Amino acid sequence: METAVYSTNGQELRKINLDDAVFGLEVNEGLLWYAINNELANKRLGTACTKDRGEVHGSNTKPYKQKGTGRARRGDKKSPLLVGGGTVFGPKPRDFSYRMPKMAKRLAVKTALSLKAHTGMLKVIEDFAVEDGKTKKLFGILQNFGSGERTVIILNEDERERARVENLKRAGRNIPWLSFLSPSRLRVHDLFYGRRVLLLETAAKEICEFYEAHKNRRNVILEAQA
C-alpha cells in the first residue's frame, strides 16, 4: 500500500510503499481480543491474598456453649460469618500469565497495524531528533498531528542512533498520553487503543524487514519438513 511521509511540521513530503502483508491485512477482531487479553494477563501481578479461617488470628475454643443460649451454634471466633473471621474462597497469589502462539501473536500485531492504516490513524513521519531531550520541543512536534489523545511513537532500533532514541524517550517521559514502541517489541494493546500511531520512516522499513525475515524463515522450515 502507498502512504505519505510527513515532516515534523505536518506537511506531506513524499510517498512510500508499505508491505501489504503487514499493513494491508483484513481485521481479525477475535485475534485482537485474544492478543490484548494475553498482554493484560501477563501484566497482572497476582499478589492479592486473603486469609481463610485457618490463617486468621483467634482462638479455636467455642465462644459459648452449644445449647441453652438461644443463639446460633458457633465453633470458633474465626468463622467466615463473624467480623474478623476468615474469607471463604478468597484470592491467593497466583500467576495469571500464559503463552500465546508466536504466529498468532505476530499476526495480531500485523492486524493492529493494518487496522490503524485503514482508519487513517497511522502516519509515517520522517526521522527526527530532540537533541536536548526537552519535552517542550517534542510536544510542539506532536501538536502538528493533534495533541491530547493517546499517541504511540514507533522508534527504530538502529544501534548507531541509540543516543537519538534515548533523547526522544527522555523528552516524552513527562507526557502522560505518549508511549514508545520498537519494531521488534510491538504491543497490540497500545496499538489498538492508541488514537494516533506515529511511525518513523526507518522504523517502517524495519518492521517490514522483520516480518519478511520471519516469513522466509518459516518457509525454509516448512520446506525442510516436507
Supply the pLDDT for residue 1: 80
Residues 27 and 64 in one domain: no
DSSP symbol at 161: G
Domain boundary among 61, 90, 119: 90
Q: Is residue 58 part of a domain?
A: yes
Whether residue 85 is found in the same domain as residue 156: no
Q: What is the pLDDT of residue 214?
A: 61
Spell out, as residue ranges, where the chain has pLDDT lower than 50.
Answer: 220, 222
Strands 122-125 and 2-6: parallel
Residue 95 lies in a domain: no
Q: What is the pTM of this model?
A: 0.81
Q: 139 lies in a domain? A: yes
What distance lies between CA 98 and its chain's CA centroid? 15
Q: Are residues 130 and 207 in the same domain?
A: yes
Question: Range of 78's domain?
Answer: 50-90
pLDDT at position 218 is 57
- For residue 171, being part of any structural domain is answered with yes
Q: Return phi, psi of residue 147, to 5°.
A: -125, 165
Whether 77 is covered by a domain: the verdict is yes
**pLDDT given for residue 208 in this prediction:** 85
116 and 73 in one domain?
A: no
State in Å, rounded, how far the first CA of the chain is from the last one. Answer: 33
Residues 17 and 70 in one domain: no
Domain count for the chain, please give it: 2
Same domain, 73 and 106: no
Long-range pairs of 138-144 with CB within 8 A, sequence gap ≥ 24 = 138/168, 138/171, 138/172, 138/175, 139/175, 141/8, 142/175, 142/178, 144/8, 144/9, 144/10
